A and B are shown apart, each in its own frame.
Chain A
Amino acid sequence: MKLQPPLDRRTVRKLQAGDRLLISGTLITARDQAHLRLVEEENPGFDLEGAIIYYVGPTPPKPGHQIGSSGPTSAYRMDQLAIPLLSRGVRGMIGKGERSAELREALETHEAVYLIATGGAGALLASRIKKRVPLLYEDLGPEAVYRLEVEDFPCYVAYDVHGNSIFGSDRQ
């Protein structure tokens, strides 16, 4: 299924845990340190409404390339700080691995989805990133906030807004 951010509520409601998505358009990167700052940031320089945040800290780009290896990092570390961003309109997050019950509740409340990209597939995912523009906190190095333009970026719906999960541990 093709998906293009920004996401509205209607689109998000249609997504089902287990769906394979190919995303084209804009993703915003942020991980641990950037989340600490973003929750306080009054003017983040991008529209949070409908945005998809990608939890990634890439390798440095080789000359002539936009970005280096760019797979997802573990999402559970961002659980607490993700909730205030969801209340400000963020409607999707891409990471890897299971997350807390609180986060899953917040997804239902705010109508947002958690997507996973294949962890450790940083080369494959980098090949689908066409452009990288620095937005905020360049002092954070690999943890800085970037705007990525992606094409057919492969993800799976992990938690949908209806309380379903892709994870084996949730099926037992």
Chain B
Amino acid sequence: MRTIEKKIFQEAIKQALIEMNHELSPAFISRLASAKETETGTVSKTILDDILQNHEIARKGTFPLCQDTGMVVVFADVGQEVYFSFDFESTLNEAVAEAYAEGYLRKSIVDDPIHRRNSETNTPAITHIRLVPGDQLRLRIAAKGGGSENMSTVRMLKPNDGLEGVRQETLKAIKNAGGRPCPPLIVGIGLGGNLEKSALLAKEAILRDIDDKNPDPELAQFEQQLETEINELDVGPMGVGGETTCLAVKVNTFPTHIAMLPFALNLQCHAARHREVVL
């Protein structure tokens, strides 16, 4: 067994949350910068420039990238040989609360979906915990804003709808969402499993390395084709029209039932705040 200390666990989460709210991944920024070069519309180009300037200011550490500093989502892959000398969930939430207080991040979580009283700590986080072989803890952490989450969706397609059905549903949803999810987007698609599994797959899809390539050649080609078609919708940065509606499409799949083709679409805004931590 390998013991993970409470302090190390908490500090890692705190640091990741404060950092990600001020700085995006270099690979993501490089995609934004190339999009700005190729964008031909006057307004759309200026908006991409606003977004890049915003990143430069946020990196200095005074102002977070976006005022919506998000709901915290944590995928924890826990090695079976790892021992925690503390309560996992409550310690994680303490770390989130400390990060949002010390980092001057906005507390956006209400304690009940109907009565809506602010929890004042930005907790609870949403956790997805999985047991895996080994003695390491892998955390994929996101601070996910409300605007893009509100434009996300789950649909139960029919098996014969196939990839063509997925394509049509995706294009329709992104066109209808327009500027509201804050494009340019990362488009995460989850296919298969069941209702909740498809949503998890879509969320994991947006957390993928933006430069990775789908190991399935058919899906890799589908991702490329869909990216091109989405960028032909003329939604553009913040919906003002233009060629930059998405920076990547990622499709994650899982086996499913003979009667089902669950489809989930999770949209990631251009403030793509993710970090991966291995302890």
Chain A residues within 8 Å of B, Cβ to Cβ: 18, 20, 56-62, 65, 68-71, 73-74, 76, 96-98, 116, 118-127, 141-142, 154, 156, 166-169, 171-172
Contact = CB atoms under 8 A, between A and B. Distances in A.
A69 B63 contact: yes
B201 interface: no
B46 to A, nearest CB: 6
B104 A123 contact: no
Contact of A167 (B47, B182, B240): B240
Interface of B: 42-43, 46-47, 50-51, 53-55, 57-58, 62-69, 104-108, 118, 145, 147, 150, 175, 178-180, 182, 233-236, 238-242, 269-271
B238 A68 contact: no
A55 B182 CA distance: 15
A42 to B, nearest CB: 25
Contacts of B241: 166-168, 171
A49 to B, nearest CB: 28
Nearest to A56: B67
A58 B106 contact: yes
Given A68-B64, A74-B150, A127-B63, A120 B43 contact: no
Contacts of A123: 54-55, 57-58, 62-65
Contacts of A18: 42-43
30 contacts: A57-B68, A58-B106, A59-B63, A59-B67, A59-B104, A62-B104, A68-B104, A69-B106, A73-B67, A74-B150, A96-B180, A118-B51, A118-B238, A119-B66, A119-B179, A120-B145, A121-B53, A122-B63, A123-B58, A124-B57, A125-B54, A142-B106, A167-B239, A167-B241, A168-B239, A168-B241, A169-B175, A169-B234, A169-B235, A171-B241
Contacts of A58: 67, 106
Contacts of A76: 180
